[in-house]
Structure 1
């Protein structure tokens, strides 16, 4: 585990990263550009297939539940089958499911396709993250994961523009476009990433991932962060509506957030910070941004808040992945990252409930001040986490 780092050569934080990292980042960015269908899935089920709102909610809930075993399966296959094969398998599975949704003629067919999409949706995440850890030294992992985050943020902005263009046509074309980008990503990975080596089945089977208390503690901490992150994604648009601001303001906020993460990757020199000091700074920045959001009444103030909490998220996203990959032995890295990644599935289920309840009961100020208090508590707890997550 990387708890301390030494300075790197001045210049770009990404200089010297393995070509494998760049190939994987490029492939994931291509895939992310096409991954704009999920927000439209509920609309397609309702408009194209005639599902009621209640049925649509149930179908989307089933999709969300299916993504949890999907990530665990991705971790198992990454360690047993190999990183490259698992990434390709997951992407091809997504392409098949997306195509199935696009060509479905009946609701039952679309439901089965949606369930399949959930079961394959997260397969490529653990091997992607594990591959980056496999080919980088501990000192370089924050930069490598930061590059992945920056590329995904940039691709997300392009995805929104592409979705806006295609949504004027038949909505099913969104799923066709996503299937095409998944296939393109799979081809790039299959041709450009190193071939999978032989796996030591005895070592792979012998790893007791769920018995590592450090991993479970990191999972708990990461789940809190992921919940804060998802609360921002869900809660900021609702807060803007509560404040009487235009609906398009949420798009500006999310765009500023993405640009902040991209620019900050280039400008900030963070390698000299150890992981826990970086996490402390990250939570402080997120907390300050949340406090500003609590008292914001104009779009310009919300944009300023977005810069603050986006800078904090940059610290947190990169260092949590660095810690999770560092805890894992090489032969179990896929499963360790899969278990840690469950934090996002849990947060996705929790955040809609906490946002709506707090917003309804206490208004925007109550929602964001209480969330800021949680961020402050996590910042103060980092010395305690340092001692508990020290190498065994």
Structure 2
């Protein structure tokens, strides 16, 4: 299955204008998400079945995020060294083992260790898969990342509806379903996903850190997206606790998440067509503002209609981020460092997954849902302003990656001269 040549040749023949590689990766995303509801329901499992306090449960969920940070960095490094395909195989198979260990753990130290293991394995495939898409021509990346996002959320919708019903009789079965889905995703990679890493890139011994530390735009994007994911992850960290306090069970929370997934599945293809030609900085900024408003409102409303309306708002923002996130970071990545750059980009999710439960549960405990809502709204506004400020530099780098001649203003920028040289 190892195929070399141009990125398009490595990806195989095209279907609907995209290489078969994209559809194979989409299948792995769908399968792993459709059977992967454990992390979405983990805080409820820990508080209801393991009888942990909300703060301790939040810290355990944060431990998954700690492992995820290492997973993203390791996945990007392995993707540039042993190949995208082998890294994804290791990630999916390792996830199956770690999920079973977490579901079998009965003591707090064992739960902590298994949680870190889940984080370390579960996201190993993300930077490798993103690097495989980044290996495609720039004109295909927005659509390709959009397909992966769509497949992920189709699986997410399946998982939340089915898992919410299954969780009524206990959470044990969810762990076994999650493990089986990871093994199936590994089989799809083994049979259908070709290698896109070129031999010349594999042999290059280029260090990430010196390039990354000079890349001020990349560093700024990383900081902003860590803030965004810390905000966004409140839907998994504190929203279930707020709903439980209002007397709602796991099925109600699962239905709310399913609505989010259904809206994405229905609206994302249209969003790709509407947003593909838009300025990425503007789309990202507006989307972060919408997520801040949505999170703030869902924490304060008490009616089903109010919660549903809040979901619509944050979902619109989530779609905008997802459409532009992968392609924007791929446009910043120098050739030969794509896996590691995409690993750093994916790590923003994992850092947010670590900070989100910690910050959210502390604020919820000490400031109440009202205080958490105010902080969420302020965070959305701050993220909007920060991302807007990066818009001109992001446009310059995107122009350079697309092979178009940069404007005089872009070419005169020291950070972009370094980017072009890299």
Q: Is the structural similarity TM-score above 0.5?
A: yes
Alpha-carbon distance change, 23 to 358 in structure 1, aligned in 2, over 3 angstroms: same
Do the aligned residues in 1 keep the contact of 2:76 with 2:342 (CA within 8 Å)?
A: yes
Q: RMSD over aligned Cα, in angstroms?
A: 3.4
Alpha-carbon distance change, 173 to 360 in structure 1, aligned in 2, over 3 angstroms: closer
1:195 Cα deviation (Å)? Answer: 3.1
2-structure distance, mates of 1:313, 1:43: 23
Do the aligned residues in 2 keep the contact of 1:79 with 1:199 (CA within 8 Å)?
A: no
2-structure distance, mates of 1:105, 1:360: 26
Do the aligned residues in 1 keep the contact of 2:295 with 2:376 (CA within 8 Å)?
A: yes
1-structure distance, mates of 2:343, 2:375: 29
Greater displacement, 162-171 / 17-26: 162-171
Alpha-carbon distance change, 317 to 52 in structure 1, aligned in 2, over 3 angstroms: closer
2:351 to 337, 346, 350: 346
Measured against aligned partners, the alpha-carbon deviations of 1:129-174 in whole angstroms (never above 9, x if no partner) come to 1112222x43443332222222212211222344346557785543
1-structure distance, mates of 2:360, 2:218: 27
Alpha-carbon distance change, 168 to 95 in structure 1, aligned in 2, over 3 angstroms: same
Do the aligned residues in 2 keep the contact of 1:51 with 1:107 (CA within 8 Å)?
A: no
Do the aligned residues in 1 keep the contact of 2:29 with 2:152 (CA within 8 Å)?
A: yes
Report the counterpart of residue 18 of structure 1 in structure 2: 19
Measured against aligned partners, the alpha-carbon deviations of 1:206-237 in whole angstroms (never above 9, x if no partner) come to 44453222221110011111111112333333
Report the counterpart of residue 382 of structure 2 in structure 1: 377
What 5-or-longer segments of structure 2 have no aligned partner?
1-14, 398-415, 417-422
Do the aligned residues in 1 keep the contact of 2:163 with 2:254 (CA within 8 Å)?
A: no
Measured against aligned partners, the alpha-carbon deviations of 1:273-299 in whole angstroms (never above 9, x if no partner) come to 120121233134334434644663321
Q: TM-score w.r.t. structure 1 length?
A: 0.82
Report the counterpart of residue 274 of structure 1 in structure 2: 279
Do the aligned residues in 2 keep the contact of 1:145 with 1:321 (CA within 8 Å)?
A: yes
Do the aligned residues in 2 keep the contact of 1:76 with 1:334 (CA within 8 Å)?
A: yes
2:248 to 241, 246, 249: 246
Q: Does 1:234 align with 2:221?
A: no
2-structure distance, mates of 1:296, 1:16: 43
2-structure distance, mates of 1:228, 1:79: 31
Report the counterpart of residue 5 of structure 1 in structure 2: none
1:315 Cα deviation (Å)? Answer: 0.5
Q: Does 1:97 align with 2:106?
A: no
Report the counterpart of residue 265 of structure 1 in structure 2: 268
Count of matched residue pairs: 376
Greater displacement, 186-195 / 202-211: 202-211
Alpha-carbon distance change, 151 to 74 in structure 1, aligned in 2, over 3 angstroms: same
Alpha-carbon distance change, 44 to 369 in structure 1, aligned in 2, over 3 angstroms: closer
Q: TM-score w.r.t. structure 2 length?
A: 0.77
2-structure distance, mates of 1:90, 1:329: 24
What 5-or-longer segments of structure 1 have no aligned partner?
1-13
